[in-house]
């Protein structure tokens, strides 16, 4: 990256920024016996910004989270469980989510309204509150300044690996650190209102002193450029959540909109978000290829996105990529039915930088050359609509036998 | 069906109505050596109505077909080839489609403007016009009053079986016959402007004397209730076409809108269209289950359709059905992110007639009972939104390993 103003902290995660502790423990919610409860704690209340799923069947913790953040700008803790989504659980589900916040707040000596709750896992089953209560106590007593990695492991469901990152940057002579973790592997098709879709959970911590309005702006813009650009299977979840907490422990000059500090912070934060979002695709259920879809020169941003997501979600494109087949007709087709408006006779298509389609027709490149591109583990498909000035980029994967197997075998 | 006014003709097809001939021959377009060219011919020019794909990359024969039907209300022949879609082939492709109409018209002694052309197969490759010319001659000389079945075989691509039907009904003491054939197996997600999506081709012949305006109305309404209700993989094709030809040979009293004759004809025609549309799903690539999605009491028809198609196209739902898993959370999720507007706390869900979700929550039916439903070869998922008065129905299948295999292995 040119003009990179931050450095990546090797092995870093959500406890890399000053003043954050975390834990990952086993509450007994997963049949596998793996850890299934994570806790993030900020020693001083942190400014919070969040984005949630736009799915109408929003899970109870999402409903509660929206309510909490309407009333409170500062958050001290986030309690997260995997193994149960607490979605489609009605009034009782909401009561249980509130109870989770209360139990956590009691243990930590903070207000219930300073606690956010997240859940991921099975839909439609009431929370086993006995296990939850014991688990929360255990999580609170396990908090550690080195607990980031444990918490990243505890939020996993069908993920095959934890997804963490941390970066630091200089702000007015002070070291500001940003840490992040995420989970998500299936039901991934971002599109949150200022937040992605899929049971994708993401938590970002920072010790930066930052203007609250600017923090919210960074979150909204950053989400659109990261989680809202990924799609594994086109399915959005009931529980998608992205939370960012800024506790100010770095003691830097306040980061504001329009400043050089602001630009640098944004750059570092967006790197964290993009890295976490791409990690979800790379760990997508059964994914064998990482495919970047670029749509250039669309009439509108909406058209660019329609087109890119239509290609990214096309089962025929995804299975062709799995088969290492350059089948560009499927890509054109998906663009053509996307709902985007453009002149089909102007469209040019590239696989990496190799011309595939020129002005709506075969560019004449030998099929063997195109095959070599789509047989790679990672490649870029660029569609130039030549209809306007808006462009976008979406990251996705292929669909393999393994995807079908994972999702046919994952019994409720 | 209650009050059924028609009878199904066993073994019937597009040559069952009087005055129609057809042929299915091998023009050498398919590597497999199977038949790949079909011809439908009406001894007297037939009133025609048609609907085409809404995909922006409409294939050359679709572009030509729209042009032809703008100028001509009567059609004598339809020449169809499989093995090459003549899509994304530019001006040369359009020239070749015109040439196909010309060659056919010359052989049959009719005007070029009385010939429709359809193509299905590989995208982006120019038509091998030498083979096409020889093939058209062969097809014209092979026309037979019993050629319906041969033509149904010749339009197949990845289809595993031909799809044909014929029905007859009494109109003013005369026997009126309707015949139909279709092809389509993958790239199936109807949504034509008065026509389905997917490389789905469908041809309906009838010897009825019928008012032209009413014929068009029947086609539009019938398409919406048949082909536009199916989805195999959510992918729409560049070549989708539905053509209906009415040659008047039955000599019946003219069928008009608002009459009893009109109602009876509609009933029979809709049966033909629904039967052909469902046959496509049943023969869908790798499909092991036939799933009917009913959405009841939506705010608007648009909401009902958004909801039903979201469920029908959800990869997570489709893989769960393949696995015989009742996983209703995935169904609720797909409804929730569909974009339809409803109150999630009112929603009820049924598998066949068994309650699954009541007012947004688990209805308490034992999982084993639900498993028994989704393990069947065919079942119905009914979502009652309780938000309005509009309802719809969509027919779809599951996604199996075989779907992935077929589409990963189908090389360009």
- Write the pLDDT tens digit of every residue in A94-121: 999 999 999 999 999 999 999 999 999 8
DSSP state of B257: T
What are the residue numbers of the active site of B?
A: 199
What local confidence, expressed as pLDDT, does residue B190 receive? Answer: 47
A371: phi > 0 → left, psi -120 to 50 → alpha, else beta; which?
A: alpha
- Write the pLDDT tens digit of every residue in A58-90: 899 999 999 999 999 999 999 999 999 999 999
Last residue of a domain, one of B282, B309, B336: B282
Chain B residue with the nearest C-alpha to that of A307: B56
- Write the pLDDT tens digit of every residue in B8-52: 999 999 999 999 999 999 999 988 899 999 999 999 999 999 999
Same domain, A269 and A395: no
What local confidence, expressed as pLDDT, does residue A284 receive? Answer: 83
Identity of the residue in A237, A314, A407 whose CB atom sits nearest the CB atom of B319: A407
Question: By the 8 A CB rule, do B391 and B298 touch?
Answer: yes
Residue of B336, B396, B410 to mutate when probing chain A, most A C-beta within 10 A: B336
- What's the alpha-carbon Rg for chain A, to the nearest Å? 22
Same domain, B220 and B172: yes
Percentage of chain B modeled with pLDDT above 70: 95
On whether residue A301 sits in a domain, the answer given is yes
Residues of chain B neighbouring A238 (CB-CB closer than 8 A): 329, 332-333, 336
Q: What is the mean pLDDT of residues A292-302?
A: 96
Q: Give the closest residue to B289 by CA, choosing from B316, B335, B320.
A: B320
Q: For residue A53, name the pLDDT band (cuts at 50, 70, 90).
A: confident
Residue A408 has pLDDT above 50, yes or no: yes
Same domain, A181 and A249: yes
Which residue has tokens 């309650």?
B355
What local confidence, expressed as pLDDT, does residue B131 receive? Answer: 98
Q: What is the mean pLDDT of residues B89-108?
A: 97
Residue A35 has pLDDT above 80, yes or no: yes
- The ipTM of this complex is 0.81
The residues near A182 (Cβ < 8 Å, ≥ 6 apart) are A163, A200, A201, A202, A203, A276, A277, A279, A280
On whether residue A1 sits in a domain, the answer given is no
Strongest mean pLDDT among A153-157, A312-316, B136-140 = B136-140
Same domain, B84 and B228: yes
Same domain, A328 and A257: no
* pTM for the full predicted model: 0.85
What local confidence, expressed as pLDDT, does residue B186 receive? Answer: 62
Q: What is the mean pLDDT of residues B118-137?
A: 95
Q: At what angle do helices B260-282 and B212-224 cross, to 10 degrees?
A: 40
Helix, strand, or coil (residue B356): strand
Q: Give the closest residue to A126 by CA, choosing from A166, A99, A153.
A: A99
Strongest mean pLDDT among A189-198, A233-242, A397-406, B93-102 = B93-102
CA distance, residue A226 to nearest chain B CA (Å) = 19
CA distance, residue A281 to nearest chain B CA (Å) = 16
* Residue B393: exposure state from Cβ atoms within 10 A (0-12, 13-18, ≥19): middle
On whether residue B1 sits in a domain, the answer given is no
CB atoms within 10 A of CB A2: 3
Q: What is the mean pLDDT of residues B279-287?
A: 87
Residue B55 has pLDDT above 90, yes or no: no
Same domain, B401 and B254: no
Residue A412 has pLDDT above 60, yes or no: no
Q: For residue B222, name the pLDDT band (cuts at 50, 70, 90).
A: very high
- Write the pLDDT tens digit of every residue in B102-112: 999 999 999 99
On whether residue B400 sits in a domain, the answer given is yes
Q: A336 vs B56: CB contact, 8 Å cut-off?
A: yes
Q: For residue B197, name the pLDDT band (cuts at 50, 70, 90).
A: very low
Last residue of a domain, one of A282, A313, A341: A282
CA distance, residue A5 to nearest chain B CA (Å) = 38
Residue A198 has pLDDT above 50, yes or no: no
The residues near B67 (Cβ < 8 Å, ≥ 6 apart) are none
On whether residue B84 sits in a domain, the answer given is yes
Same domain, A149 and A91: yes
Q: A411 vs B337: CB contact, 8 Å cut-off?
A: no
Q: For residue A240, name the pLDDT band (cuts at 50, 70, 90).
A: confident
Lowest-confidence region among A38-42, A181-185, A384-388, B248-252: A181-185
What is the token pair recorded at B80?
Answer: 């169809």
What local confidence, expressed as pLDDT, does residue B410 receive? Answer: 59
CATH number at B335 reads 3.10.20.340
What local confidence, expressed as pLDDT, does residue B284 receive? Answer: 83
Number of structural domains, chain B?
2
- Write the pLDDT tens digit of every residue in A252-264: 999 999 999 999 9
Return the higher-pLDDT residue of B309 and A188: B309
Same domain, A96 and A184: yes
Same domain, B78 and B171: yes
The string of DSSP letters for A52-101 reads E---SS--HHHHHHHHHHHH-SEEEEEEEEEEE---S-HHHHHHHHHHHH
On whether residue B383 sits in a domain, the answer given is yes
Q: B360 vs A90: CB contact, 8 Å cut-off?
A: yes
Same domain, B152 and B223: yes
Residue A406 has pLDDT above 90, yes or no: no
Return the higher-pLDDT residue of A313 and B2: A313
Q: What is the mean pLDDT of chain A?
A: 92
What local confidence, expressed as pLDDT, does residue B196 receive? Answer: 34
Q: Count contacts between A and B (CB, < 8 Å).
A: 220
Residues of chain B neighbouring A409 (CB-CB closer than 8 A): 323
Q: What is the mean pLDDT of chain B?
A: 92
Q: A342 vs B197: CB contact, 8 Å cut-off?
A: no
The residue segments making up the domain with residue B130 are: 6-282
What are the residue numbers of the active site of A?
A: 199
Q: B333 vs A401: CB contact, 8 Å cut-off?
A: no
What local confidence, expressed as pLDDT, does residue B254 receive? Answer: 98
Residue B412 has pLDDT above 70, yes or no: no
What local confidence, expressed as pLDDT, does residue B188 receive? Answer: 55
Question: By the 8 A CB rule, do B38 and B80 touch?
Answer: yes
A116: phi > 0 → left, psi -120 to 50 → alpha, else beta; which?
A: beta
What is the token pair recorded at B197?
Answer: 């999506």
Q: A357 vs B88: CB contact, 8 Å cut-off?
A: yes
Residues of chain B neighbouring A314 (CB-CB closer than 8 A): 234-235
Residue of B185, B237, B319 to mutate when probing chain A, most A C-beta within 10 A: B319
Q: For residue B356, name the pLDDT band (cuts at 50, 70, 90).
A: very high
Residue B314 has pLDDT above 70, yes or no: yes
Q: For residue A2, name the pLDDT band (cuts at 50, 70, 90).
A: low
What local confidence, expressed as pLDDT, does residue A67 receive? Answer: 96
Residues of chain A neighbouring B325 (CB-CB closer than 8 A): 408, 410-412
On whether residue B246 sits in a domain, the answer given is yes
Question: By the 8 A CB rule, do B68 and B116 touch?
Answer: yes
Last residue of a domain, one of B282, B304, B339: B282
Q: B409 vs A323: CB contact, 8 Å cut-off?
A: yes
CA distance, residue A192 to nearest chain B CA (Å) = 10
Distance CA A365, CA B142 (A): 39
Output the CA angle B213-B260-B207, nearest 5 degrees.
55
DSSP H/E element including A120: strand A115-122
Chain A residue with the nearest C-alpha to that of B348: A88
Residue B189 has pLDDT above 60, yes or no: no
Same domain, A277 and A169: yes
CATH number at B98 reads 3.60.70.12
Q: For residue A56, name the pLDDT band (cuts at 50, 70, 90).
A: confident
Same domain, B170 and B40: yes
Distance CA B302, CA A126 (A): 33
Question: By the 8 A CB rule, do A154 and A82 touch?
Answer: yes
What local confidence, expressed as pLDDT, does residue B265 receive? Answer: 98
């Amino acid at each position: 990256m040119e003009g990179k103003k931050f450095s990546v902290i090797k092995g870093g995660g959500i406890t890399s920024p000053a003043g954050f502790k975390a834990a990952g423990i086993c509450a007994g919610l997963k049949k596998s016996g793996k850890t299934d409860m994570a806790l993030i704690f900020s020693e001083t209340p942190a400014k919070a910004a969040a984005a949630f799923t736009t799915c109408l069947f929003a899970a109870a913790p999402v409903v509660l989270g929206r309510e909490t953040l309407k009333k409170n700008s500062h958050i001290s803790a986030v309690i997260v469980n995997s193994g149960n989504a607490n979605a489609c659980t009605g009034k009782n589900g909401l009561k249980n989510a509130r109870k989770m916040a209360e139990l956590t707040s009691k243990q930590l000596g903070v207000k219930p309204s300073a606690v956010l709750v997240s859940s991921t896992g099975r839909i439609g089953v009431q929370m086993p509150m006995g296990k939850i209560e014991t688990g929360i106590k255990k999580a609170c007593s396990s908090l550690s300044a080195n607990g980031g990695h444990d918490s990243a492991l505890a939020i996993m469901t069908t993920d095959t690996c934890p997804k963490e990152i941390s970066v630091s940057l200089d702000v007015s002579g002070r070291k500001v650190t940003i840490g992040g973790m995420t989970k998500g592997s299936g039901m991934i098709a971002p599109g949150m209102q200022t937040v992605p879709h899929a049971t994708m959970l993401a938590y970002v911590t920072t010790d930066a002193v930052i203007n609250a309005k600017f923090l919210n702006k960074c979150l909204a813009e950053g989400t659109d450029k990261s989680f809202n650009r990924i799609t594994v299977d086109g399915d959005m979840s009931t529980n998608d959540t992205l939370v960012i907490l800024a506790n100010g422990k770095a003691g830097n000059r306040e980061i504001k909109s329009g400043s050089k500090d602001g630009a640098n912070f944004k750059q570092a934060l967006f790197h964290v978000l993009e890295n976490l979002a791409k990690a979800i695709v790379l760990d997508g259920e059964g994914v064998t290829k990482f495919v970047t879809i670029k749509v250039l020169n669309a009439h509108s941003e909406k058209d660019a996105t329609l087109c890119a997501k239509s290609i990214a979600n096309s089962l025929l494109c995804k299975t062709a990529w799995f088969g290492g087949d350059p089948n560009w007709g499927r890509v054109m087709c998906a663009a053509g039915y996307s709902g985007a408006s453009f002149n089909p006779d102007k469209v040019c298509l590239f696989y990496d930088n190799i011309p595939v389609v020129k002005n709506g027709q075969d560019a004449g490149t030998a099929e063997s050359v195109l095959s070599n591109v789509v047989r790679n583990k990672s490649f870029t498909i660029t569609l130039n609509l030549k209809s306007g000035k808006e462009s976008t980029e979406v990251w996705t994967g292929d669909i393999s036998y393994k995807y079908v197997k994972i999702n046919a075998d994952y019994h409720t």
